[in-house]
Structure 1
């Protein structure tokens, strides 16, 4: 039997609290009022029975209510685990439940043999066309998997790409074994919804399945021990996509809160809130393999509407979002204006740094870039620029860079090519990391450093666009799709800025455009938000 983790590594088991288990079983419809004796359920990682024992209890109650003999339930359940000790513990506890229910010894042993197996869910033979898959998949990082086993996992399960953790494979196989109309209910890390390695799984779900409900539970005490896996309850069905519910929770969320939230999910209300939670009902889910949003359900509902009706910033083909120049050795390439050391003037390019806009406005930049590229995008001949070559060559770090070692004849190049015309264009600048979105106008004359993201456009008045980006609407996109650091700091990277949808500039009334322009110039976030809401056709104070 292959072992899925390296020696000394835990097998990723985290034990789920009872009320969380009950919530998931209720959400997928595994309830005693149904004839569960006619259904088939698989639990891929039984552990010591946190899910499996309540499942057995519900099955036995349903059998009693529908007058079905216990001995005929062998095909109703299938649970397995990689660790023999867990299987044995679960067998003993299940045996007790069956005995109390009145099963004979022969029936007990027959059911245990049918229901519980020692095995690897990703490699071994399991039932197909099942009605339910539920549980808490193991959380094991890709780096901690045995090399041979990981290779076999990745060979079999195409969603396990990049740095995908093992639970991604569990999702794929669980979805694959569902019968038409079947449902998956997991409590699991939700990082796959909004990072690169989750893209194949998002594509699979959005193309062939329906997301029914997502409960974000990052701060909830959902497990018997503390974990840092950013968990969420996710319910996915093998059916056509319809309405979907989103629940966001706080540390106050409890078993009583879960009952309230479940009532909302199973009802018709469009929005609701209770102790430690709030929820929204979306008309559909996000039909894309791109990042899925996270955050307040009310906000997600607004973003879903905006994405349906407005284009993204770059969609006009005349607006570009990108990042500034990476040199690979800033201490060599970036110098102060008072330290030019006789370098040939046409090898010096004014550069704007993150520090120059950190206060929320543009301070006069004081740095210069030693630029090895000419106006045609070609590397300059060092023989024609001896002083430039001498100053740059005096830094050992320059020639130690990978890009220099790869081609020693072009050791003086920056990692990124420099395009002189970019320096002259007006641009909006954004710091990579900041608590709030804060676009700053650079009217032209400076090249952006790689700690800055920039926007250039031939269709937008950049001050009007800057007003939209200053608004809480634009920030909501970045917050929903991006990475939030400790302390609430957001990452304003190009991949997240590209998610922002905007009205077409020609559709914005002139008075609204003027309000956006004025709000941007005065850094008035409230005024920018009110004007942006009008530009989007949203009610005032939507966010």
Structure 2
């Protein structure tokens, strides 16, 4: 349908409004909606007819307001979606948020509710219906007195007006309405000239934009600097929307979001966590962890509720199946027990806190390394189709290239250790255009490459256009065109313990003492003390460590969990005596190891 539709927003709106009017047999409407209706003699009627023919086959003559919300969200262009982070919020999620924010209020006739990233207005529609049903107040007055929306996109504000008009018209109100809808960037809240009507709200609800730092436009990044919560790392766009909502609320006002759950642990949300803790706000979190609420989106979310009053308490509930039960038992956690810098481990909080209090944090016990970042692994990393004393042979696009052995290193993808493959099974070759001099990796210059490695140089030259396209075209500006995209992990100590970056079962780690083995993808702990690494291996392969990961690490779909540094860095490693280390290293049976370790983790 999308492929065959016009991309002109006004015509799309006309088609969708006309569909709604036709399928719901609406005969009375106001002048605002009239301009969107396509009649039989209209020049756009043929476009409408094509869509009607499709809908007749698929919808069997039914089209409700919730369908309109989905349609409006569906036709946002991919480029706009990347920049604005717009995404459809399911109606059961919206209703749950409203129940929490409005359910116990006695002032529904006068309550002021805002959605500060309203999109086409799903939340505002639900608020209007809720107030209308509970109080009998007309939509005309509700739109004037109770609901407020802000969105950066003019077409979203227009569609919000359409949706609210259709809601009222379908329930018998067909006058022309006035709205409190502001077409502006919510990040402008700290700028002079902000509309004074858009502050001092009783309630703020919504779904703040899902845009990561690397996709934010330069102007947007600059605006985020006005907000204290954005001072740690490369912020994501949803983060300042917490501070803005809080500042827009009256004292004792409430907010309800469906939002990313990454703020619980991520480095770039440290200042946001500190903001909540410093103010002592009453917060409730229903965490969906690895369950994906948004169909077709790899987005991990939670419901977040805040009351603008100081209680010093946070309440947490894990709802991994998104059952959204009416009655849930929250764990109550005092802010004084949390650490904004470390991140909030809220799931199985007492057990996790106990484990983290043991010994020394993992991040201080041993250094970790991510793999090298060529930004074009298909170019540099290969499995030789054959080899001889001088060359490895690489085949790509039906062309065979010979690559000098001396410029190649062994390399593995330790993510493959999540399966039962051996180290040799996952070992490949990498073209390594660097020299290790005085403990530093120095790029081999072009003259030396041509002279000493002419075959490798010729191969890389054949891939020059591919290499130039790295980093969204910034590869053309690298000091030398065949340099890796990043300089991380070019130096690796001899002793390495490899493990996957994500896993769906207790870890399998492999220790290697080899100065000439490199890593791409996955992770490794590194050092010079093999015995220390063997002790660590016993702990990381234990049930205790895996249960900690399941409770606290970032979850992914299909039961996978992140083993990135931020998720495991605070796991406590006990202080062992030499005799205790000997006892642990002698144990081979997994159950015996788990039982032995339990005494150190209480």
**8 A contact 2:292–2:300 mirrored in 1:** no
Q: Map 1:12-411 onto structure 2 (within 5 A).
A: 12=86, 14=88, 16-17=90-91, 20-21=93-94, 23-28=96-101, 30-32=102-104, 34=106, 41-44=113-116, 45=118, 47-48=121-122, 49-53=124-128, 55-57=130-132, 60=135, 77-82=146-151, 83-87=157-161, 89-90=163-164, 116-120=180-184, 122=186, 123=188, 125=195, 126-137=197-208, 150=220, 154=224, 167-193=238-264, 198=269, 201-208=272-279, 210=281, 212-217=283-288, 229-238=299-308, 239-250=310-321, 253=323, 258-261=325-328, 264-265=329-330, 280-284=331-335, 286-288=338-340, 292=344, 297-298=347-348, 300-307=349-356, 311-315=360-364, 319-325=366-372, 339-341=388-390, 351=410, 353-354=412-413, 359=420, 362=423, 372-377=435-440, 379=442, 388-390=452-454, 392-397=456-461, 400=464, 401=467, 406-408=478-480
Cα deviation code 1:21-43 (max 9, x no counterpart): 55434544x44464567865434
Q: Which residue of 1 aligns with 2:42?
A: none
Aligned pair count reads 479
CA distance 1:259–1:310, change in 2 (3 Å): farther
- Unmatched 5+ residue regions in structure 2? 1-9, 11-72, 152-156, 189-193, 393-403, 469-474
Q: Deviations over 1:264-287 (max 9, x none)?
A: 24xxxxxxxxxxxxxx44444743
Counterparts of 1:414 and 1:118 in 2: how far apart (Å)? Answer: 43
Residue segments in structure 1 that go unaligned for 5+ positions in a row:
64-70, 100-104, 266-279, 538-543
State the distance in 2 between where 1:334 and 1:219 align.
Answer: 34
Aligned partners of 2:452 and 2:168: how far apart in 1? 78
The answer to whether the Cα contact below 8 Å between 2:125 and 2:167 also exists between their aligned partners in 1 is no
TM-score (norm 1): 0.66
3-state secondary structure, aligned to 1:505:
coil
Deviates more, 1:326-335 or 1:209-218: 326-335
Taking a change above 3 Å as real, the CA distance of residues 216 and 334 of structure 1, as seen in their structure-2 partners, is same
Change (3 A) 1:128 1:504: same
Instruction: Give the superposed CA RMSD.
Output: 5.5
The alpha carbon displacement at 1:184 in A equals 1.5
Equivalent pair of 2:113/2:202 in contact (CA under 8 Å): yes
Deviation of the 1:470 alpha carbon: 0.9
TM-score by length of 2: 0.60
Measure, in 1, the Cα distance between the counterparts of 2:502 and 2:87: 34
Give the match's secondary structure for 1:373: strand
CA distance in 1, matches of 2:460, 2:583: 52
Measured against aligned partners, the alpha-carbon deviations of 1:55-104 in whole angstroms (never above 9, x if no partner) come to: 5258749x9xxxxxxx99999844225424424643675799999xxxxx
Deviation of 1:341 (Å): 1.0
